[in-house]
Amino acid sequence: MDWSAEQYLKFEDERTRPCAELLARVPGAVRRAVDLGCGPGNSTELVLARWPAARVTALDSAPGVEVVEADLAAWDDPGPFDLILANAVLQWVPDHARVFPALLDRLAPGGSLAVQVPDNLDEPSHRLMREVAADPRWAARIGDAAGLRTPRHPAEWYARLLHGRARLDIWRTTYFHPLAGTAGIVEWLKGTGLRPFLAPLGADDRAGYLAAYEAGLAAAYTALPDGTVLLPFPRLFIVATRPAA
């Protein structure tokens, strides 16, 4: 997984809102929880705000909670947990057919796996990353940066995978983020999606890549009269709750 906490927090309110809406759909009490890929801790703070007495483990770093530095794919705490939160992280973890059932197995009876993943690989913002990366000026150095993110699965795929194992609440929401023109879109994505494309490049090539990328954005997104651009950002949400004992 490749992301920048500092860049991410430039848009903290917008990025925190999906997690808040995800947690609002989690039923029942939570005594023990884990926040997978907690990043700067904004998602962990939301868990504690709703369940202040919960014992929370955070994978990454967050103040006031037990912190575990671990590769999520190799994390082996058996639980049981009343809540496993994976907010905007599992898109970087391969083999969802194995990972999702394995996470369910770590839930206590009545516990919930709450997942939110970006569902925007087909949006112009992400399609253009791949198209610009294929330019011969940068292709050899960038390589298969697009392959770092797990291929997208539709909601029905997850419903079939988890059918009979949990009570499912699945929905998809498209947020429209008002940003300061195409430069604002670039700033938004520098914290996450653009990083694997930019990391292999030197300063001059990085500037060239971003200029070509922003030119593509200008053709794909129409600005409002004040220069604001609305960035559509689809996200897929899943709350899978194990039956109570």
Fold topology of 5-241: Rossmann fold (3.40.50)
3-state class (DSSP) for residue 174: strand
Q: How would you label 64-74 residue by residue, b for 16+ Cβ within 10 Å and e otherwise? A: ebebeeeebee
**What are the pLDDT digits (tens) for 154-177?**
999 999 999 999 999 999 999 999
How far is 38 from 173, CA to CA, in rounded Å? 21
Domain spans in the chain, listed from the N-terminal domain onward: 5-241
74-84 tens-digit pLDDT: 677 888 999 99
Residue-level pLDDT, tens digit, the chain, 245 residues: 444 445 455 556 777 899 999 999 999 999 999 999 877 788 999 999 999 999 999 886 455 555 555 566 667 788 899 999 999 999 888 899 999 999 999 999 999 999 999 999 999 999 999 999 999 999 999 988 766 667 789 999 999 999 999 999 999 999 999 999 999 999 999 888 899 899 999 999 999 999 999 999 999 999 999 999 999 999 999 999 999 97
Quick one: CA dihedral 148, 149, 151, 157, positive or negative? positive
Radius of gyration for the chain, computed over Cα atoms and rounded to the nearest angstrom:
19
DSSP string, 124-162: HHHHHHHHHHTSTTTHHHH-SGGGGSPPP--HHHHHHHH
Predicted local distance difference test score (pLDDT) of residue 65: 55
Kindly report each contact of residues 123-127 with a partner whose C-beta sits within 8 Å and lies 24 or more positions away, as own/partner.
123/232, 123/233, 123/234, 124/216, 124/217, 124/220, 124/221, 125/185, 125/189, 125/193, 125/217, 125/220, 125/231, 126/193
Beta strand spans in the chain (E): 32-35, 55-59, 66-68, 81-87, 107-118, 167-179, 229-241
